[in-house]
Amino acid sequence: MRWKNKSNPEIEKVDKLSADLGIDRTIARLLVQRDIETFEQAKYFFRPNLNDLHDPYLMKDMDLAVKRIENAVAQQEKIMVYGDYDVDGTTSVALVYCYLTTFYPHVTTYIPDRYDEGYGISYKSIDFASDNDITLIIALDCGIKAIDKINYANNKNIDFIICDHHRPGDKIPKAIAVLDPKREDCNYPYDELCGCGIGFKLIQAIAEKKDQTMDDLIPYLDLVATAIAADIVPIIGENRILAAVGLDVINSNPRPGIKALVQNQEKEALTITDVVFVIAPRINAAGRIKHGLYAVELLIERNIEKAQKGASEIEQFNFTRKDLEKIITKEALQQIEQNKEKENFTSVVFDPGWHKGVIGIVASRLIETYYRPTLVFTKSGDFLAASARSVKGFDIYNALEKSSAYIEQFGGHKYAAGLTLKPENYLKFKDLFEKVVEETIPKELLIPEIVIDADLFLSDITPKFNRIIKQFGPFGPKNMKPVFKATGLRDNGYGKKVGKEGEHLKLNIISGADQKTYNAIGFGLGDKFNEINNGNSFDAVFTIEENHWNGITSLQLNLKDIKPGE
């Protein structure tokens, strides 16, 4: 890994903040690195408050969206709440459906079938709406590029409200309202909301008209926090507020569906990381293996016994997902190995039999082994479909745009995207994509990077220090858990490899400064054992974690990498 130090903040700013807040300089340094330089900014950071959310009517077309929903209610129209089959889409649908049905009964949900209809708004869903006299569709987490689909709906006298957070194309669909802060003509102050976040701004706007307060909307924030965690959006600004309050809801009074998904967790309080690895994969498994509506039905269920039954079904989907993922990852790795005649700047693999529902996860797994922009293709009807994942710092969406001569359709983000192409264009696309990445990616991005916030003496790690660091959470993109570096360390002789295949390291580290022993775990660092053996001096980068065992909580170092000492 490349070890990269964050740039040093101005000493004067660190000293002033340290004095103003009465905190040590390391904490002050971490805050200034996050552009927190005053008492007021620190208060905003450490005390996320729903009252600090922006006015939803600052978002372009919000007034039109609310007016159209009000008209639909007044005219007793049927409303369809539509969303994609992933976590962001299904939580968005559950959110808007649950809110609207508190005051209006004629609302239904729709999630497209991943295999029959594909990503985004489908013609089939519009036909379904037409056949069932539905005249308003609220599309969440999709639709910003659905020009032809919206025109098709308009011809059938079906109106659309689009709530999306993906990048628009050259044209904006001719919907009644298009809520997307990434529109160039939208001046909303924050453009990093996920799809469920846009859905929340919509219900916030409706709630204002109904003289409801933020307290009335808090019960919906477990859904929003789950989507923020799963969609890997920056956890700063509004996302940080929504995630923080939503996590409190998850831990104190979650909806029955989420309660059923986490009921076997032994932790006192779930973190964003737990949401990413416990809740999100299970919600996703429904759309990957069976149908996204299973997830929506679980998330809108009010009866705990029915929710537990639904969660049990989804758990089975998740087991199937894990098995498929292991098999396909193994096959994909073999395919890459067999085609390594030359140094590639990308990993592009294809098998017509691979399960479309797990190729995105497989792409992420391949990056863990071959750190390259990665595409995993499978057969999808008459086309090939792929999930794309990128390495840190490289915009895979832009690379696909430059390779679009052979692409039928694509969409997504900087780090994750999806695309389809004709089978006869696969090899041409693969060559062009490799060429585009080779010409545009800085070579250092092909080596994993770990960013170090600050150097730290192990003796500085105290329960008080850890309590303050915990308050930096919830952690995520643009507000990652602080990573520290310590030098001149050695193991006390009891360090060992652990795990089924000795893939992890468990150490008792001695710091030269105070000769105390500190517990440490290094996941995936088993091959570094020789570097710490025989009393060798080493340097380490790590985060500080709490280890809960037999009712006792202790601090330990979570090692991210180690190198021989200088």
pTM: 0.91
Pairing verdict, β 78-83 and 107-110: parallel
Adjacent-strand bridge partners of 386 = 377, 419
Q: Enumerate residues 6+ apart whose C-beta is below 8 A from 158.
A: 126, 129, 130, 134, 135, 136, 137
Query: What is the set of domains in the chain, with CATH numbers?
Result: 2-6+450-564 (2.40.50.460), 56-313 (3.90.1640.30), 339-446 (3.10.310.30)
DSSP element (H, E) containing 331: helix 304-338
Query: What distance in Å separates the CA atoms of residue 343 and residue 322, rounded to the nearest whole number?
Result: 30
Query: What distance in Å separates the CA atoms of residue 60 and residue 54, rounded to the nearest whole number?
Result: 13
Pairing verdict, β 78-83 and 496-498: unpaired
Query: What distance in Å separates the CA atoms of residue 198 and residue 186, rounded to the nearest whole number?
Result: 13
Query: What distance in Å separates the CA atoms of residue 41 and residue 329, rounded to the nearest whole number?
Result: 45
Side-chain half-sphere of 562: how many Cα atoms within 13 Å? 31
The pLDDT tens digits along the chain (566 residues) read 999 999 889 999 999 999 999 999 999 999 999 999 999 999 999 999 999 999 999 999 999 999 999 999 999 999 999 999 999 999 999 999 999 999 999 999 999 998 888 889 999 999 999 999 999 999 999 999 999 999 999 999 999 999 999 989 899 999 999 999 999 999 999 999 999 999 999 999 999 999 999 999 999 999 999 999 998 899 999 999 999 999 999 999 999 999 999 987 767 789 999 999 999 999 999 999 999 999 999 999 999 999 999 999 999 999 999 999 999 999 999 999 987 767 789 999 999 999 999 999 999 999 999 999 999 999 998 999 999 999 999 999 999 999 999 999 888 888 889 999 999 999 999 999 999 999 999 999 999 999 999 999 999 999 999 999 999 999 999 999 999 999 999 998 888 999 989 999 999 998 866 678 899 999 999 999 988 888 889 999 999 998 877 778 889 999 999 999 87
**How many residues does the structure list for the chain?**
566
DSSP string, 333-382: HHHHHHT-SS--S-EEEE-TTS-GGGHHHHHHHHHHHS-S-EEEEEEETT
Cβ burial of 87 (10 Å; 0-12, 13-18, 19+) is buried
